[in-house]
Chains A and B, each alone.
Chain A
Amino acid sequence: MPKISRGFHALCIASIMTFLLAPVILVFPISFSADAYVAWPPSAWSTRWYVALLHNEEMVTAFRNSLIIAACVTAITLIVAMPAAVALTRWNFLGRDALTSLFTAPLLLPSIVLGLAILVIFAGYGLVGSWPGVIIGHLVITLPYALRVLITGLSTMPAFVEDAAGTLGADPWRVFRRITLPLMTPALVASAALAFIVSFDEVVISLFIAGTQLKLLPVSLYHYVESWTDPLVAAVSALLVLGTLGIVLIVERAIGFGKAVSK
């Protein structure tokens, strides 16, 4: 390739990359603005919006609630998805593929439709705005992710190790606990991270079923942006980006994020 066109090519790639990352990067400088509203460039720099965030009761409560919900959802996701993944990979039965597709189907449904559907039925049982209601609503979308990761993990794992342990006299439960579970650790870490992030970030389904009583962070952020234009949300966003980065690094350490997505 000639030099000029090569330079042009590099410039194009860099601009597209900038476009992709711009919104995530720009919340950082704005979060240190000293202005009372979002304006570029900020007239002065300060940490006042981080201080304001600590004193904003709704955001602090919503953050705590979202963490608790995400932790519960992650734990239940693993408890529900793990046996299902074992059943769907280690058993041969009629309708196995159909069941697998059914369990991943909620991901294909637009979340606005799923949210509305859950709202309509949960409203009749008083589950809207309740902790169990929100947890079940989140489970529907975290389970398909976790199930997919776990099934991939289990089916790439050599079954002969389990066979060997069985032949040597270990009962199925012992085989699972001593052989399958340790070998599954990377897939478990990945699906836990995914379930946590999906639940913590879920906004559309939460918007429908969290109601006004149960404050969740993405919902509170959304409502805040609707009525206020100050950089408080930038401070929250910056913290969320850093938190997500932390989780990605943990997963990277555990299994290699790049490897996991490029396959």
Chain B
Amino acid sequence: MTVSTVDADARSGGGRLLLTLLLPIIFVNVIAFIAPVANLVAMSFREATATGSMKEGMDLATWSSLVGDAYYWSMLWRTIWIGALITLVTLVLSYPLALFVSRAEKAKALLIVLCISPLLISAVVRTYGWMVILGDQGFLPALLRSFNVTPPRLINSQLGVVIGMTEILMPYMILSLLSGFGKLDTTLEQAAETLGAGPLTVFRRIVLPLSMPGVLLGCLLCFVLAVSSFITPKMLGGGRVALLATEIYDQAIVTLNWPVAACLSVLILIVFGTALLFYGQLSKIVE
């Protein structure tokens, strides 16, 4: 950064001005981010009594009751594998679309806006759209019945959650993939084709390896969002698909057991951390 007047000013005692400029944002982050998160982690070491109040002192009682409960283990695995499945389906659907958009000559900007703008629409509205499509009287069952096909259970099921989440997360995946495709040089593909490689070989040997960083980033993003999302599984799962995030809400708002909700929150953060570690290792291999 070039030295500007403000820079020069900063050295001659502008430290107070700098602090003034940063103070509001520090204030907001301390009272609504740092303190609450620290407090939440501390809360996971407390224990709730039957009346809903909190016992004095901190111990591992809540943690050990969770670890000993098979219900939470199965929920953790379900959360992870549904998250992984959603990530995979999202990748498979987003890849060809992102490739097409990045190569489009006409109306590229419009195509990007179309792919990304669903992000700007509330998850409640988009999930409601899926209820309209997948519901028992919805669009898709009606379509299937007109072909004399008995529709499977699309709503209040894991299938519904996977379909809805895939669509919700596609814009994130497309964005990540587009950033990866930006580095792709089409002359490499042309060279390979001239040398006699078929389209499949070109894809497998050139396009796919070069786009791997974008793929990994998109998968990380989708996985962590799938694991932590709550609205869509709640609305499309209809209470039948118990995941970590939906359980956190139930414990915090319905059962009012904050220590358990806090433990599950820390658990989600651990899943996040593990996903990040995996991402770091895989990125190294790719490069």
Binding site for B on A (CB under 8 A): 1, 9, 12-13, 16-17, 19-24, 26-27, 30, 37-41, 79-81, 83-84, 86-93, 99, 102-103, 105-106, 108-114, 116-122, 136-137, 139-140, 143, 147, 155, 159-160, 162-163, 165-167, 172, 175, 197, 200-201, 203-204, 207-208, 218, 221-222, 225-226, 229, 233-234, 236-237, 240-241, 244-245, 247-248, 252, 256-259, 261-262
Contacts and interface: CB of A to CB of B under 8 A. Distances in A.
A38 B132 contact: yes
B97 interface: yes
A136 B39 contact: no
Given A91-B18, A240-B121, 6 more contacts: A24-B129, A30-B132, A38-B132, A172-B6, A200-B122, A258-B108
Nearest to B109: A258
B139 A26 contact: yes
Interface string B217-244: 0000000100111110001000000000
Interface of B: 1-2, 4-7, 9-10, 14, 18, 20-22, 24-25, 28-29, 31-33, 35-37, 39-40, 43, 93-94, 96-97, 100, 108-110, 112-118, 120-133, 135, 137-139, 142, 167, 170-171, 175, 178, 199, 224, 227-231, 235, 245, 248-249, 252-253, 258, 261-262, 265, 268-269, 272
Contacts of A83: 20-22, 24-25
Contacts of A84: 21-22, 24-25
Contact of B122 (A20, A91, A165, A218): A218
Contacts of B22: 83-84, 87-88, 99
B137 A109 contact: no
Nearest to A259: B109
Contacts of B5: 162-163, 165-167, 172, 175
Contacts, number: 266
B129 A218 contact: no
A116 B230 contact: no
Contacts of A20: 97, 114-115, 118, 167, 170-171
Secondary structure type dominating chain A contacts: helix
Given A27-B125, A116-B40, A258 B112 contact: yes
Nearest to B141: A40
Nearest to A111: B228
A1 B228 contact: no
A110 B137 contact: no
A160 B122 contact: no
A244 B4 CA distance: 39
